[in-house]
Structure 1
Amino acid sequence: MELKSLGYIGIQSAKLDDWSNLATRLLGMQEVDRGGKLRAFRMDDRKQRLVVDGDHDNGLGFLGWEVDHKSDLQSIAARFESHGTAVTAGSRALADARHVAELISFADPGGNRIEIFWKPELASEPFVPGRPISGFRTGPLGMGHAVLNVDDIEPMLAFYRDLLGFHVSDYGLTPYKLYFFHLNGRHHSFAMVESGKRSMHHFMVELGSLDDVGQGYDLAQPDEGRVAYTLGRHTNDHVTSFYSHTPSGFFIEYGWGGRVIDPETWQPHETFDGPSLWGHERLYMPEDMRGRLRNMRLDAAARGVQVPDPSVPPLNCPWLDSVIARE
């Protein structure tokens, strides 16, 4: 498997101050760059995980996927070019801006920019969260996960699964087509929903403590219109989370307790109980659409559908490890 994890996400938005407030005061990221029309944010020992570019206002700018070796870049580029996809080698200036040794880029069938990189730069200073949190669960699992709205899922499946090498975790066909993909032990690092649109749906960051999420939920609620999904738990990856509106019109999922799978033995399968076991009331949806999803949760409750309590591994956060060592 060439790809190993979601390394970084780039957003294009003119609402730089709004993004800074959201990333630091609610999510707990550390802002590290306020030069010009660029904002960059840390989550761990990497120099950056989230980048917001104020020169454009197009929503998702790019998804950065990590590989272990320079040769992986070459093999991926050759494979895509043989299938007619134009691949661009990133310039030295672009690699420096991304804080990586080298990268390539290309577009998926929906027009989304994909970057593949190796050898990310590590910060010399400890991560300092924007508000008191235990830390983010990253490490081998990567930054979190990203979910796209797509108008036609079939060509996207052929691209991500068959060419890029994502592995299906599970999928649902009602009330809309949803496919989830893994690269490592995180249940999914990427997903697509056939909503008829082409845009970012959300990205997820996972916290080290349920209290981090609960306190974030309390902080979000007084900000009118901030909460998009109420607190709830997903059926497939077992994450307990809420969703926040962002300044760019998509969502951020703020979660804890994600399921860790064994990629070597995992079998893809169809799911039938809907996306959420309980909660996650979609406050932004019209009542008829909310009602369909609510009925799926009520049906699951009537049948007693439950998932195991999470067995949460150590956080694997160098910043937190250093704090514990000092104490």
Structure 2
Amino acid sequence: MTTETVFGHVRTGYAVVTTRDMDNWKRFGAEAIGLHMDVHSPELVTFRVDDWARRVIVRKGETEDYAALGLEVTSRAALDEILQRLRGRGVAITEQAGGEAAIRGVPQFWSFSGPKRQQIELFETAETTPAPLKMKFAGFLTGEAGLCHVAITSKAPDEMLAFWQEIFDARLSDRIEEKISGINLLITFLRMNERHHSIAVARTKGLKLDPIPSRIQHMAFQVSELEDLSRAYERCRKMGYKIAMSVGQHTNDREISFYVYTPSGFEFEIGWNPLIVDEESWDPNAVHQGISVWGHKPVDHTWADDLRQFRTGVASFFRHEYRPF
């Protein structure tokens, strides 16, 4: 590396999801959300949003979950530095090529188990395609900021944050204090490039609980047109997919968005026009009260959902959360 940091050399690249209900994911991804879909077999479906051949990979499996987060590393020097940091902390790394890499649309990748046993996969280059997109959107903003951000709940938040900051040089953007479904949360937002946050880590205040059973709480894509957001919301409502939170605007990055439950249980956020961090003037010490300036009201959330989250949180109190180092 010509510099001491890998900040700016890492961005989200793809997501791998496992599901027992492939037909529902096809309907959700292609018709409700409106992504370009390629069906490869009864057990593999992929979605595109730009010229990358594969951005969301959905595989038939025994679990409903977010199975892996693919991170693009834009230089070999940065990749070597990250791998060296992981090995120096005793993290086991597996290099893979062949069939598994082809499924992801990359020539090879390096995988390891991150916090909460989230599989993280590092790669340098991805397959692209000139084939036209068949989407219900004008477009998505990816590029230098990467594909998306993910939000993760943790009952070991200090270790979780240290992982992203020590391995990927993630920088603190800001924090939010909020009460959701009766649970007091502190959410910390980390950026790995110009995107306001690539990773958000939420913790309960008081008892260390994790009320979310999936490895992530949500993933978020950014659309290029506001009208695309409103139309996606209408499609999801019309098709009967549960809306976690209605359209609203966030306090910290000022993004307008809504949240819908995926067939695998975690949430999918569609957002528009968040702030881009100015590295020279940004204040990372800001703590915002509440996640929203307006909107983001629960729509299809019920007392049964609250009960499930309560039970999951109580169960997590007795369960060790995996930490990679």
Structure 1 residue 160 corresponds to structure 2 residue 176? no
Q: Quick one: higher RCO (CA 8 Å, sep 6+), 1 or 2? A: 2
The corresponding residue for 2:154 is 150
Structure 1 stretches of 4+ with a deviation exceeding 3 A read 263-267
The corresponding residue for 2:127 is 121
Contact kept, 8 Å, 1:108 with 1:114, in 2: the verdict is yes
The corresponding residue for 1:135 is 139
Question: Which of 195, 198, 202 does residue 193 from structure 1 map onto?
Answer: 202
Letter in 2 for 1:41: F
The corresponding residue for 2:312 is none
For the aligned residues, what is the CA RMSD? 2.0
Helix, strand or coil at the partner of 1:171: strand
Distance 1:145 1:9 in 2: 11
C-alpha deviation, 1:88, in angstroms = 1.2
- Residues 207-259 of structure 1 show CA distances to partners (whole Å, capped at 9, x for unaligned) of 11111111112222233452110111111111111111111111101111111
- Work out the percentage of aligned pairs sharing the same amino acid: 29
Helix, strand or coil at the partner of 1:219: helix
Alignment map for 1:276-287 (pairs within 5 Å)? 276-283=292-299, 284=301, 286=303
Distance 1:96 1:272 in 2: 42
C-alpha deviation, 1:172, in angstroms = 2.9
For normalisation by structure 1, the TM-score amounts to 0.82
Question: Which of 219, 223, 235 does residue 239 from structure 2 map onto?
Answer: 223
Distance 1:36 1:72 in 2: 37
C-alpha deviation, 1:95, in angstroms = 2.2
Structure 1 residue 256 corresponds to structure 2 residue 272? yes
Letter in 2 for 1:260: I
Comparing 210-219 and 278-287, the one that deviates more: 278-287
Contact kept, 8 Å, 2:251 with 2:288, in 1: the verdict is no
Taking structure 1 as reference, are residues 50 and 229 closer, same or farther at Cα in structure 2, changes over 3 Å only? same
C-alpha deviation, 1:173, in angstroms = 4.5
Contact kept, 8 Å, 1:184 with 1:263, in 2: the verdict is no
Question: What are the ranges of 5 or more consecutive residues in structure 2 without an aligned counterpart?
Answer: 179-183, 307-325
C-alpha deviation, 1:285, in angstroms = 5.8
Letter in 2 for 1:85: V
Distance 2:89 2:282 in 1: 29
Contact kept, 8 Å, 1:147 with 1:193, in 2: the verdict is yes
Structure 1 residue 59 corresponds to structure 2 residue 65? yes
Contact kept, 8 Å, 1:150 with 1:194, in 2: the verdict is yes
Distance 1:12 1:272 in 2: 34
Letter in 1 for 2:192: L
Letter in 2 for 1:254: I
Structure 1 residue 27 corresponds to structure 2 residue 27? no
Letter in 1 for 2:235: L
Alignment map for 1:302-321 (pairs within 5 Å)? none
Alignment map for 1:32-47 (pairs within 5 Å)? 32-47=38-53
Taking structure 1 as reference, are residues 99 and 263 closer, same or farther at Cα in structure 2, changes over 3 Å only? farther
Contact kept, 8 Å, 1:246 with 1:252, in 2: the verdict is yes
For normalisation by structure 2, the TM-score amounts to 0.82
The corresponding residue for 1:184 is 193
Letter in 2 for 1:91: A
